[in-house]
Amino acid sequence: MRTYLDHAASAPVRPEVAQQVAEDLASGLGGWANPSAQHTAGRRVGALLAQARARLASALGVDAHEVLLTSGGTEADALVVSGRARAVPGGRLVVSPIEHPAVLDSARTAVDQLGAGLSLLEVEDTGRVELDSVNRALAPAGSTGHSPASLVSVMTANNETGVVQDMAALVARVREASGGGRPGEAGYVPVHSDVVAALGKVPVDFHGWGLDAMSLTGHKLGAPVGVGALVARRDLALTPATGGGRQERGLRSGTQDVVAARALALAVELAVAEREEQEARLAALRRRILEGAGALAGVHATLPEGAAHVASTAHLWFEEADVEALLMALDLAGIDASAGSACQAGVTQPSHVLLAMGFQEGPARSTLRCSLGRETSPDDVERLLAALPAALEGARRAWKVTHKEQ
């Protein structure tokens, strides 16, 4: 029996979702018509798509017209970041240095290809954005020489460490630093948040926080891979990178996948409904991992005491340990875990998230992320803790060999 502790990378498809997808595929959803078609079959499928969008919007606490379906969180991030860069030529993107590569790489591409400016916020050792750096980044253009900001993007929960931002406070600081204003008015700076690692883990309040856009995906919540959404205010100016049939408010062309949209809606509904129950259960398992692993010499919790975090992620760093050897040993012992974001798998570089938090390169290379989900049991945690000492011993031998060669 294998122990899966990488839910932050991707979670198993939920049985309820799998059953719905199977039934939808078997029924043909009205004959496989295009939901944009005007004939009877098309209108029938179009109505199912509208229902899925409305269900998803209701679970998220937003309006259905604010929900744009995408292939996942990465596309949603790119759509809003590059969309703002195109909509506001020469504008400046303000992002945190701990963002997912989907945001950071999209911002850098906008700089290289679209002439956008880029400012990085600063991060405290707790993993939270330093709010005073928002003021510095959004200081009047005349006093800094910077171009006006076109977007601020800060993720709600970090995909590696699980750190949770105070989004209400951050948005309030953006409004204060930029002079407030209303959406669409000159000087108004929209705020986007990637909530992929937060949804179903902590309360997400799009309108209450004052967000203008947020990105999410389904496969971290038990939907199949390949479907997500961008929630965006109707008055948020975005310019698409591609043309086509102008589906999804003209921002994301292509025939919509109604089966996937229905799967996403159900997965989000279930995750939101079960959040509090799962949070309490997973918090106890997380504590057990940190306590058990922390009893080993040279093993440390990445986050300082009191740091805000999701209940489902236990993040550790190791002194003088080769993390690749550690992961391989755990894999051979039947434990599936990761060193960080699976989107950077195979890249043996220090975590950009930990570097931004003030870690040195050594510790930032030697980390283990154990991310838990609704399937995770106490027995899974005990199997990890039983396998860790031997795996760590081998990882330290490998580290000594590598550093001796250097």
Active site residues: 343
Q: Give residue for tokens 């039934």.
A: 23
Residues 113, 31, single domain; the answer is: yes
Rounded Cα distance between 240 and 173, Å, is 29
Residues 292, 362, single domain; the answer is: yes
Rounded Cα distance between 80 and 65, Å, is 16
Q: Give residue for tokens 């460490």.
A: 161
Residues 27, 54, single domain; the answer is: yes
Residues 279, 239, single domain; the answer is: no
269, 298, 323 — which closes off a domain?
Answer: 269
Whole-number pLDDT of residue 74: 98
Whole-number pLDDT of residue 349: 82
Rounded Cα distance between 181 and 280, Å, is 39
Does the predicted TM-score (pTM) go above 0.85?
yes
Helix (H) or strand (E) holding 262: helix 258-294
Whole-number pLDDT of residue 118: 97
269, 301, 332 — which closes off a domain?
Answer: 269
Rounded Cα distance between 34 and 199, Å, is 30
Structural domain range at position 129 = 15-269
Number of domains, the chain: 2
pLDDT tens for the chain, residues 1 to 406: 899 999 999 999 999 999 999 999 998 875 678 999 999 989 999 999 999 999 999 999 999 999 999 999 999 999 999 999 999 999 999 999 999 999 999 999 999 999 999 999 999 999 999 999 999 999 876 555 678 999 999 999 999 999 999 999 999 999 999 987 788 777 899 999 999 999 999 999 999 999 999 999 999 999 999 999 999 999 999 999 887 778 889 889 899 999 999 999 999 999 999 999 999 999 999 999 999 999 999 999 999 999 999 999 999 999 999 999 999 999 999 999 999 754 455 556 899 999 999 999 999 999 999 999 999 999 999 999 999 999 999 999 999 998 876 5
Residue 15 CB neighbour total at 10 angstroms: 9
Residues 323, 346, single domain; the answer is: yes
226, 37 contact by CB (below 8 A)? no
Residues 222, 131, single domain; the answer is: yes
Residues 159, 213, single domain; the answer is: yes
Residues 176, 313, single domain; the answer is: no
Residues 54, 114, single domain; the answer is: yes
Whole-number pLDDT of residue 30: 55
Residues 283, 251, single domain; the answer is: no
Closest-CA residue to 193 (of 175, 206, 208): 206
Query: Any idea what the CATH number is for the domain that residue 180 is in?
Result: 3.40.640.10
Residues 263, 128, single domain; the answer is: yes
